[in-house]
Amino acid sequence: MAYDCMNTKHPVVVVGGGFGGVSVARRLLKLDIPVTLISETNYFTFTPLLHEVATGILTSDDITFEYASFFKNRKFAFIRGRVEKVDFDRRVVLVEGAEVSYGDVVIATGASTNFYDLKGREHAFELKSIEDAARVKKRMIELGQGVDGEVNVNVIGGGPTGIELVFEMELFLKQLRRNNPRLRYHLRVIQLGHVILPIFPEGIQRRAMKRLHRRGIAVELETAAERLTAETVETNRGSFVSNLTIMAAGVTPNVDCLKDASEALERGHVEVDVHLRVKGKEHAFALGDVIHLEDVPIPKLAQTATAQAEVVAENIIRARSRRPLRAYAPRVRGLLVSFGYGDGAGRIGPFTITGVPVWYVWRTVYLFKTPGLSNKLRVAFSWTIELFSKRNLAEE
Ligand SMILES: Cc1cc2nc3c(=O)[nH]c(=O)nc-3n(C[C@H](O)[C@H](O)[C@H](O)COP(=O)(O)OP(=O)(O)OC[C@H]3O[C@@H](n4cnc5c(N)ncnc54)[C@H](O)[C@@H]3O)c2cc1C
């Protein structure tokens, strides 16, 4: 394949080493294109299992993987750091004062917890990183084994992140109570919309509501959290006692590094065209939670970021050999949600599956998505041991 010489010499610089960034880097390396990955940590975090770390089923080692453990290609380079600026005109990215030049750049910086206009956000916990998961776990232990022994959990957001977390928290607190009968706990989900799990079919929403009810977890629908204090969540429908509030009501794209390129942004996202090229920027692509594509709603999921990575890698090759680019159309293969260890529901193609099988499918899918063979084996071994042991109640 005939490449433009300049582009071949200059690698593709991928900014952000999450699902999108890692997938596009792997794909490009397979196609023999040199890649420089720049990310804030030297490991990939398997975010869909963060709630299991927060609740003692898994440990942080089970879901974080150092990039070097699965990028073994000699054409791969890694820089640990935060990209401060992408200069599209000069084709360089600025990392902690140094300039890294690129042939093409891929923006894959993901998103952070969205606190909207919530007042008192410093009182909220979140679940976006391994540190967040450790903090949630520590707080449950501090409160549950503390002098008062009272835990009042409020999860703001009834999407998959909030629902999966609250189910596991209930099981965690139940186990904590076995050693500490004084412990009292209450869990509540606060959801702005009129249903929970809005991206799931109605049958699964109803099933989740029944499970929550059976497990004693309260759900407040059509309720807007307005202000947090150290002891309460104040909403448009009254105030709830809370000493552990978790914000899980959506995300906001990480676009700090594009603050000088406002023409590339739309509604706080990186605006891409149907080829996932940053609008108006010839040598720049973007994917994952950070993008916006006009008139095309894209679910912010690991599976969409991974599918976009294929298109971006192919389009980089096509652009370099001056061939027409491939268009991206979002497609969700299946959706699974866990209702706590050993239970869940999901939709795969036309089929709805529920109960224990979902949980196994869910775990198997994640095992396959774990990057690198040695990591897969390590995780499979660790999960097998964990199947036969109790939750780990030690602080992370
Ligand atoms: C708790 C939780 C559960 C989830 N469960 C599921 C699920 O079950 N199924 C599913 O499909 N999706 C799930 N998701 C969503 C999924 O994790 C995201 O959609 C996916 O991670 C998006 O990939 P990304 O590459 O765009 O961003 P990310 O995976 O978030 O990666 C972005 C990376 O960029 C780095 N970065 C950001 N800014 C900079 C910068 N300026 N310089 C350098 N590096 C930077 C970040 O540190 C991070 O490593 C879940 C998310 C969460 C938080």
ipTM score: 0.99
In this prediction, residue 358 carries a pLDDT of: 85
Nearest-angstrom CA–CA distance, 73 and 25:
11
Nearest-angstrom CA–CA distance, 204 and 201:
6
Atom of ligand 1 nearest to the CA of 165: 1
Q: Using an 8 Å Cβ cutoff, are 41 and 384 in contact?
A: no
In this prediction, residue 7 carries a pLDDT of: 45
User: What amino acid is encoded at 43 in this protein?
Assistant: Y
Q: Using an 8 Å Cβ cutoff, are 100 and 10 in contact?
A: no
Other residues' Cβ atoms within 10 Å of the Cβ of residue 222: 11
Nearest-angstrom CA–CA distance, 388 and 341:
12
CA of 18 to the centre of ligand 1 (A): 5
**Matching residue, tokens 């410093």:** 122
Triad 45, 49, 50: Cα angle to 5°: 70
Question: In the beta sheet, which residues pair with residue 5?
Answer: none
In this prediction, residue 223 carries a pLDDT of: 98
Give the three-state DSSP class for 117.
coil
Q: What is the DSSP letter of 324?
A: P
Quote the tokens at residue 392. 């780990």
CA of 24 to the centre of ligand 1 (A): 14
Nearest-angstrom CA–CA distance, 263 and 109:
18
CA of 291 to the centre of ligand 1 (A): 12
Nearest-angstrom CA–CA distance, 334 and 337:
10
Q: Cα 196 to the chain's mean position, in Å?
A: 19
Ligand 1, atom 35, residue with closest C-alpha: 16
Pocket probe for ligand 1: among 15, 19, 96, the residue whose CB has the most ligand atoms within 8 Å is 19
In this prediction, residue 9 carries a pLDDT of: 61
As averages over each run of 10 residues, the pLDDT of the chain (396 residues) reads 43 97 97 96 96 93 94 95 96 94 97 97 98 98 92 98 97 93 96 96 96 97 98 97 98 95 90 97 97 95 97 97 96 91 88 87 86 88 82 87
Quote the tokens at residue 383. 């999960």
CA of 10 to the centre of ligand 1 (A): 26
Ligand 1, atom 50, residue with closest C-alpha: 48
Pocket probe for ligand 1: among 164, 301, 308, 337, the residue whose CB has the most ligand atoms within 8 Å is 301
CA of 259 to the centre of ligand 1 (A): 20
Q: What is the DSSP string of 117-156?
A: T-BTGGGEE--SSHHHHHHHHHHHHHHHTSSS-EEEEEEE
Other residues' Cβ atoms within 10 Å of the Cβ of residue 231: 13
Quote the tokens at residue 175. 């186990």
Pocket probe for ligand 1: among 109, 113, 129, 155, the residue whose CB has the most ligand atoms within 8 Å is 109
Q: What DSSP element (H or E) covers 347?
A: strand 344-348
Domains and CATH numbers, the chain: 5-40+81-112+251-332 (3.50.50.60), 115-249 (3.50.50.60)
